[in-house]
Structure 1
Amino acid sequence: MQLVLLPVLVPLRDIRRDDAHSPVIDDFMGGLGVGYSYGPPFDQRLVTWADLQRMEMPRRALRRQAAHNLDARLGVAAVHGQPPALMLNFEGIASTLLLAEAFWAGLEQSVPGELVVGVPARDVVIVTGSHSPPGLAKVRRAVDRVFYAGDRHLLSRKLLVRRRGIWELFADVRPAPALDGAQHGFV
């Protein structure tokens, strides 16, 4: 079986970046980075700077090859469940799908509002819409459960939102209830 390189999300808090045996990591957002994993199976070992040197591969070529390999494997990605929240499955590294531009274009019409995801672990992605209070609550509960149970590859408690093709931290800002002046003695 031929080895394939895929990008994987990693928490920056767990990554050493001090020598040739450190993994090659690109910043992503919100305390997450992008590493590069050999596979299948994926998620066993990340490409290090020493590996890049041994392969005589520039970092840019690593990124390009991993992105190409990800796009080529999107056919095995699966969406499970029904609104208000959906789960993703992708070879045990569902969080990698956040890096696949083409994948999200097809899901945007499946949720009310903007795409919002919880990515508590490398193998767990829960999707809902920004205009779905029940979906947002379900995603938050799922993220809390994964962190409570623990996981070999915990990623983030933060929710992400996709805006104009870019992932950002989701700030669920709800408007404060309107105050009725008569009710509070302001009339």
Structure 2
Amino acid sequence: MQLALLPVLAPLREFRRDDVHSPVLDEFMGGLGVGYSYGPPFGQRLVTWADLQRMELPRRMLRRQAAHNLDARLGAVGVHGQPPALMLTFEGIASTLLLAESLWAGLERSVPGELVVGVPARDVVIVTGSHSPPGLAKIRRAVDRIFFAGDRHLLSRKLLVRRRGIWEPFAAAQARTPEAAF
């Protein structure tokens, strides 16, 4: 079995940056970073600075290889549920899908308003539209339940919105109604 590398979202607060045995992390947003996981299975072990030296792989190439591998595996994405909220699955690291540009371009047309996601844990992504009050409520409840129950790989209580191809924190006051857009 050949080892592959994929990007994986991880909370920045959990890792020290001054240790060669700590994971290589690139800042993503809102306290989240992008690490790089060996696999399959993915998400169990992140590439460390020592690994990077041993592989003689420049950090830029690590990013490029992981992004290429992610794009090549997008056929394994599962979309489950019915509107107003959908759940995505992907090899136990669904949150990684936030980094898959082509996936979101396709999903943007299937939700009312802007794409809004909850990523409470590494393996959970829930999607709705900013113009769907029932969808937003469903995502918030799911995020709260996951944090209440606990999870080995908790990520964020914040909802994210995709604007102009970039993820940013979402606030209910930012929800734009179709009338407000004119």
| Aligned pairs for 1:148-167 within 5 A | 148-167=148-167
Partner of 1:97: 97
Distance 1:143 1:130 in 2: 16
Partner of 2:78: 78
**How much has 1:37 moved relative to structure 2?**
0.2
**How much has 1:174 moved relative to structure 2?**
6.6
| Aligned pairs for 1:47-86 within 5 A | 47-86=47-86
Secondary structure of residue in 1 paired with 2:104:
helix
TM-score (norm 2): 0.95
**How much has 1:130 moved relative to structure 2?**
0.3
Unpaired runs of 5+ residues, structure 2, are 176-182
1:42-75 CA distance string (max 9 Å, x none): 0110000000000000000000000000000000
TM-score (norm 1): 0.92
| Aligned pairs for 1:110-149 within 5 A | 110-149=110-149
1:15-47 CA distance string (max 9 Å, x none): 111111110000000110000000000011000
Q: Which one-letter code corresponds to 1:5 in the other structure?
A: L
Secondary structure of residue in 1 paired with 2:172:
coil
Q: Which one-letter code corresponds to 2:6 in the other structure?
A: L
Structure 1 vs Structure 2: percent identity of aligned residues? 86
Q: Which one-letter code corresponds to 2:71 in the other structure?
A: D
Distance 1:5 1:91 in 2: 13
Secondary structure of residue in 2 paired with 1:102:
helix
Q: Cα RMSD (Å) of the superposition?
A: 1.0
CA 1:174–1:3: 2 relative to 1, 3 Å: closer
Distance 1:31 1:156 in 2: 8
Distance 1:141 1:117 in 2: 13
Distance 1:158 1:171 in 2: 9
**How much has 1:168 moved relative to structure 2?**
0.4
Secondary structure of residue in 2 paired with 1:68:
helix
Partner of 1:183: none
Structure number, greater radius of gyration: 1
Unpaired runs of 5+ residues, structure 1, are 176-187
